[in-house]
Amino acid sequence: MKVYVVIVIYNGLKWIDRCFGSLRQSVLPVTVIAIDNGSTDGSVEKIRADFPEVQLMEAESNLGFGKANNMGMELAEKAGADYIFLFNQDAWIEGDTLQGLVTVAASNKDFGIISPIHLNGSYTGLDINFSNYIAPDKCEGLVSDMFIRQLKPVYDLEFVNAAAWLVSMACYRKVGGFEPLFFFYGEDWNYCQRVRAHNFKIGVAPAYTICHDREVRKGKLNPTPDKLRERTMSLSVLLDITNGWTSRVLLFTRIRLVGLLASTLRLKPVSAGYHLREICYLLTHYSKIKSIRRGYKE
């Protein structure tokens, strides 16, 4: 069983030892591919010096999360991987996590993506956002089964973020990689929609865990730039293939026109400019976006 781990790196020096070190301790041997997105903090040098077994790819510029992951997934497929494990640079696994996920996946081939439980970086609870994904209204049965101590190997859920995805090769070959129009944020939600459109399930395996150390960054990172946030929202609406194209265009138009009117009345020209920019984006990319949606279903 060949498992390839794909990690996108961007100024992640503080996590390199824990992230890559944990993969060395995996009960299941894995091949690790790291794609650096232009780090300037010594991440590349650290990986080369301390983790020479890692297949390191360096992008000439910051490609964004999705495009960089696509590079690694393509390489894994060409190398004959049975599974691809997409893993965040700010996370680390337990020794039995990957072995357990692969065992669950092999017995549940209708699941295209399986995630472990995400703990926070201090082992004091669930990751700050992960708890939302496994709420009773989004992951039927899991919380109840925890209380009665009758956990199943895997539970179906609507969405889980791409911090630790075990993707089956059957799913990858059918769905493809991330949508490259998304630079950062939104690409995993779009991917989950496409996975479901191709009749694969998305699951969480509650017996296995990772730690995701993103709480340490809270309040220390720059917020998502407004332009990027608005573009991500536009793409999330327009590329949602769980709804028809016409309904998506109408929803997009309503959101942008209401936003433009509200920004104008409140004398917020910068905000109004963002809405105008997104309207122009749809007008100039209408055919391209519609074509991309059609391609998702092929």
Strands 111-120 and 201-212: parallel
CA atoms within 13 A on the CB side of 244: 3
Per-residue model confidence (pLDDT) at position 221? 44
pLDDT digits (tens, 9 = 90+) for 140-173: 999 999 999 999 999 999 999 999 999 999 999 9
| Percent with pLDDT over 70 in the chain | 96
Rg (CA), the chain: 20
Res 241: pLDDT: 92
Pairing of strands 83-87, 155-156: unpaired
Query: What's the one-letter identity of residue 174?
Result: K
**33-75 pLDDT, tens per residue?**
999 999 999 999 999 999 999 999 999 889 999 999 999 999 9
Read off the tokens for 55. Answer: 């297949």
| pLDDT (0 to 100) of residue 217 | 54
> For residue 143, what are its two tokens?
């919380």
The mean per-residue pLDDT over the stretch 14-19 comes to 97
Those residues whose C-beta lies under 8 Å from the C-beta of residue 263, and which sit 6 or more positions away, are 269, 271, 272, 275
What pLDDT does 219 receive? 47
Global confidence as pTM: 0.92
What per-residue confidence (pLDDT) applies to 218?
Answer: 52
The β-bridge relationship of strands 55-58 and 83-87 is: unpaired
Beta strand residue intervals within 184-280, DSSP E:
201-212
- Residue-by-residue DSSP string for 24-37: HT-SS--EEEEEE-
Phi and psi, residue 88, nearest 5°: -75, 150
